[in-house]
Structure 1
């Protein structure tokens, strides 16, 4: 069987053509920076999931699946631009963010332009459930940004707060990619449900690993400064696990949440503990649950979804 990369190459190329047509540079900052962000890399996971779901349906609907994949990539890019504003991020994929290079207003405009482009691509798909699902998903993504504000520098936030936050931050967009791909391909509801559950667990695992890499990765491999989450008051799973098991660290975290001084002491505690390893165990549990959801999905789709899960198990950058 072909590798995932070779299997997806043709379809992803078609998705890229749709995106590039929408973002063709024309001398305006929003177009040029949007196009630059798209070309700067990224794993293109969201359209990949959309395409894999679409492969289970009738080929007659496949053009709509490709448009959906392009739309989800545009939506993902919009969330990245807005996240960089919220997190005051200097780098994205190793390059200056729109926010740092051109300021707040141009960054907001670029994010909004990407969002409107995402909706334009799929505007002619004739499927009420598709558009209902998409609209509800975007609303929930925005709610996730508000939750991120509410829990910033909150040392008393619960594990449930954290999991709700990363669902809306990452897992939701993966679930949405699969669901919309399923609706575009007119799959049956039971298949969409299983695929969506797979996407939920993959998305949760993906974000937990990202949160761990913020401690163990490097600026070069991550494309952005490490330790950014804790410095910005976003307390991720390693932090919360250590908080709940180490009273001394909990006291330090509570003090830091008030003073916002000396994050290095907290970072040292995390790195000297087993908190990252324990967080990665939670990630692995999600991967195993994801694999269990697709045992009855037809090949080659099941094979490639399983391969993605396996890649996630070994992800270290």
Structure 2
């Protein structure tokens, strides 16, 4: 995703996001030098900070105050960072966003404890918000994320999984945290219940659409655009939606077996990717992503009129239509 184009869509939040960025730097600090290095390495890798952006935009529908909502934005981003560190261990990933992962630069043990440290800090930060329901939302989200991690391990290399299995998995992997970001931002600003519900559902639908597109891009983008080999999800045993649609194609099935077994050559990897790109699997996956996008936009329509409403709409469109 082109981060510069995305940032233009919420440029009015620039000063508040800078406050959150500084707070994140404080949040990853600890008395352990090793933990500091590993956490800071992850923080400096950057990212789109989409979840804090959704917290801030959702808070615009209530009594907006950066002082009262920054802890929520920091909490959800810490959870996201922690899940990435754990994901990289599960997937044995060496790079993320073109940089070495924590597990690659140090080891699996350091990566797992770094993730645990970030999760714990997220819980500590949310206590600044004097709302027990918000604490419940965050804790349930963390539970679902962890269940999602286990299910992802169970589903690795399993070609008999269904589309429903895939959708349940990405709900936990991605959609639930984006949904919680929107819900918590609205709760923190004391938005009314109806608005909170619309924002929660908006975040869920956007998250589903976003992850499907992310999985498509892993197959259709170049190695250079991704900062890692295209088809990395498959190489790690993760079966995504476009692949589920074409897994029984006689021209694809043998190559698919090879990449899942880890025996595919780079030449055959490119051949497999070409065949998947030329199949109808990509378009069918895009259609499902678009269904979720339209549901998200419908939730936006029902929100009260303000500047954040247009921003939510534009970000949803950008995230679901991006090319890399």
Normalised by the length of structure 2, the TM-score is 0.90
State the shift of 1:111 in Å.
0.7
In structure 1, what is the equivalent of residue 190 of structure 2?
Answer: 186
Q: Distance in 2 between matches of 1:36 and 1:158?
A: 37
> In 2 relative to 1, CA 164–231 (structure 1 residues): closer, same or farther, beyond 3 Å?
same
Kept in 1: contact 2:235–2:259 (CA 8 A): no
CA RMSD, 1 decimal: 2.2
Instruction: Write the mapping of 1:153-164 to structure 2, written as runs, cut at 5 A.
Output: 153-164=157-168
Give the paired residue count: 313
Deviation at 1:22, TM superposition (A): 1.6
1:110-121 matched pairs, under 5 angstroms: 110-121=114-125
Which residue of 1 is the match for residue 38 of structure 2? 33
C-alpha offsets along residues 181-222 of structure 1, whole Å, 9 cap, x if unaligned? 122122222111111111111101111111111111233322
Aligned to 2:298: 292
Quote the Cα distance in structure 1 between the aligned partners of 2:88 and 2:257: 26
From 144, 150, 165, the equivalent of 1:146 is 150
Residue 271 of structure 1 deviates from its aligned partner by 2.7
User: Quick check: 1:172–1:200 contact (8 Å CA) kept in 2?
Assistant: yes
> Which residue of structure 1 aligns with residue 53 of structure 2?
48
| Change in 2 beyond 3 A, CA 1:225/1:27 | farther
Question: Deviations for 1:11-37, whole angstroms, at most 9, x for unmatched residues?
Answer: 111111211112247771221221222
Secondary structure at the residue paired with 2:69?
helix
Distance in 2 (alpha carbons) for counterparts of 1:48 and 1:72: 10
Question: Contact 2:206 / 2:296 at 8 angstroms: preserved in 1?
Answer: yes
* Pairing 1:200-279 to 2, within 5 Å after superposition: 200-243=204-247, 246-248=248-250, 251-252=253-254, 255-256=257-258, 259-262=261-264, 264=269, 266-279=272-285
Please report how far the alpha carbon of residue 224 of structure 1 lies from its aligned counterpart in structure 2 after TM superposition.
3.0
CA shift in 2, pair 1:4/1:26, >3 Å: farther
1:242 Cα shift?
Answer: 1.2
Tell me: CA distance 1:286–1:306, structure 2 relative to 1, closer, same or farther (3 Å): same
Give the SS at the match of 1:186. Answer: coil
Aligned positions of 1:99-178 closer than 5 A:
99-178=103-182
In structure 2, the partner of 1:97 is: 101
The answer for the alignment partner of 2:3 in structure 1 is none
Q: 1:21 to 1:255 in 2, by over 3 A?
A: closer
SS of equivalent to 1:48? helix
1:304 pairs with 2:311? yes
Aligned to 1:9: 14
| CA distance in 2 between partners of 1:230 and 1:269 (Å) | 14
Note the C-alpha offset of 1:156.
0.4
Q: Structure 1 residues 191 and 253 mapped into 2: Cα distance closer, same or farther (>3 Å)?
A: farther
Structure 1 runs, 4 residues or longer, greater than 4 Å off: 253-260
**Residue number among 57, 69, 86 corresponding to 2:62 in the alignment:** 57
